């Protein structure tokens, strides 16, 4: 039986933990930052070894690994183990049987119990369900090597942490939707601008051309006609540049309405259908990435496959995307003629462009190739520790 002093000390500890987590969550509307902040705080304040968070895609309902803290080597070295296997806690959650503090419990992790090495003694984790009212959001898993059961205080505290995290997830998603809505409004604004500026510009060019026609019919001085023609050319060039700028601004992103994995699979299928090239497309990890990163990776894959078609004389190619909370890796590999990377011909602008795209994403580009041995291109983007 706890004394009043022990009870007060326990409550003060719980409040300090919840306050620390709330401060982290209130510090950002970025979903990745919120998730990783919670994991770091929970691991430190509750003296736990590791943790990870599953979220459900809003559209498809599929689960994906959204954040992880200090995963054991066996899982870090093989992200596929975290993505491909079904597990007891997620299956229970989907069935609606993992709800409320009474159902937060310690279970044997189906991903860890099958492993012999690289688990660092971890076998069990607690599963904390995440809900927004009745809507399922995901599951928070936290693990310790020596866990066997949870006290009522632990259950209550983890349940409250889950509530705080659920609120943060919903807030981040609402913020993301508001940003997307703002982007749509900006596109409408640009469309109006295109209509107004380009329409007025073309009308001005038409007037200039009519003026030239009138000058020619009236037998005007050739110098005068040439002057008006030059003005018309300059006006036409200016309108063409304005049209190009507006079209670039208005052009829909290639991933609009699709995940990066779906867009890459579609790209591979399109290239295979047009060319004598068999492309295997693999995607591991379904966590959403920033729009800028997804668009950049898609363009890199597009350019890389174009290089394979144009230069490699390959029969088969592999397109692989591996996304984890720590990094994203894109690999394009072919069985073509290969080349010496130290002697890239000056006309291989595609490779220069690929390196520039990777650099703009704060990533690294690695090319492995040799004559008659095919080519392997790898792009790695380290995601911020905060997500």
Tell the residue number behind the tokens 């099958």, with chain if given.
114
pLDDT at 387: 37
Give me the pLDDT at residue 319, please.
97
Residues facing 331 on adjacent strands: 320, 378
What averages of pLDDT result for each successive group of 10 residues across the chain (387 residues)? 72 78 73 81 76 86 85 78 71 71 62 67 78 86 72 80 85 72 58 59 77 83 85 78 56 67 92 92 85 85 90 94 92 93 65 82 92 94 64
Q: Cα–Cα distance between 313 and 267 in angstroms, integer?
A: 19
Q: What is the pLDDT at residue 193?
A: 55
CB-CB contact of 313 with 57 (8 Å): no
Contact 60, 136 (CB under 8 A): no
Tokens 């959204």: give the residue. Answer: 66
What token pair was written down for 353? 């462009």
Beta bridge partners of 135: 132
Edge to edge, the sheet with strand 364-369 lists: 278-284, 316-323, 327-334, 375-382, 364-369
**Domains in the chain, CATH or no CATH each:** 4-178 (3.30.450.40), 184-250 (1.20.5), 260-382 (3.30.565.10)
């Amino acid at each position: 039986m706890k004394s009043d002093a022990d009870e007060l000390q326990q409550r003060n500890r719980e409040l300090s933990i919840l306050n620390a987590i709330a401060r982290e969550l209130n510090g950002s509307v970025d979903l990745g930052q919120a998730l990783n902040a919670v994991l770091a705080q929970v691991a430190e304040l509750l003296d736990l070894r590791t943790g990870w968070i599953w979220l459900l895609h809003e559209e498809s309902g599929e689960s994906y690994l959204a954040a992880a803290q200090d995963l054991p080597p066996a899982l870090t070295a093989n992200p596929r183990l975290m993505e491909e296997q079904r597990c007891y806690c997620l299956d229970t959650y989907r069935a609606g049987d993992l709800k409320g503090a009474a159902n937060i419990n310690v279970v044997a992790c189906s991903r860890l119990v099958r492993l012999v090495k690289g688990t660092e003694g971890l076998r069990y984790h607690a599963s904390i369900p995440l809900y927004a009212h009745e809507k399922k959001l995901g599951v928070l898993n936290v693990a310790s090597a020596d866990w066997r059961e949870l006290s009522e205080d632990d259950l209550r505290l983890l349940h409250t942490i889950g509530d705080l995290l659920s609120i943060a997830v919903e807030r981040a998603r609402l913020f993301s939707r508001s940003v997307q809505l703002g982007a749509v409004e900006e596109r409408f604004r640009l469309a109006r601008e295109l209509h107004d500026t380009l329409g007025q510009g073309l009308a001005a060019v038409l007037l200039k051309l009519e003026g030239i026609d009138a000058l020619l019919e009236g037998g005007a001085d050739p110098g005068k006609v040439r002057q008006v023609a030059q003005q018309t050319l300059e006006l036409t060039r200016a309108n063409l540049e304005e049209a190009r700028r507006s079209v670039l601004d208005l052009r829909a992103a290639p991933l609009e309405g699709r995940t990066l994995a779906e867009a890459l699979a579609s790209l591979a299928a399109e290239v295979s259908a047009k060319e004598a090239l068999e492309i295997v497309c693999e995607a591991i990890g379904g966590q959403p990435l920033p729009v800028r990163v997804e668009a950049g990776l898609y363009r890199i894959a597009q350019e890389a496959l174009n290089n394979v078609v144009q230069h490699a004389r390959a029969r088969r190619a592999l397109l692989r995307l591996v996304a984890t909370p720590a990094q994203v890796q894109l690999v394009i590999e072919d069985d073509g003629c290969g080349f010496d990377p130290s002697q890239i011909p000056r006309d291989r602008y595609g490779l220069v462009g690929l390196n520039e795209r990777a650099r703009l994403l704060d990533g690294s580009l690695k090319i492995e190739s040799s004559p008659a041995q095919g080519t392997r291109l790898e792009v790695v983007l380290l995601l911020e520790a905060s997500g």
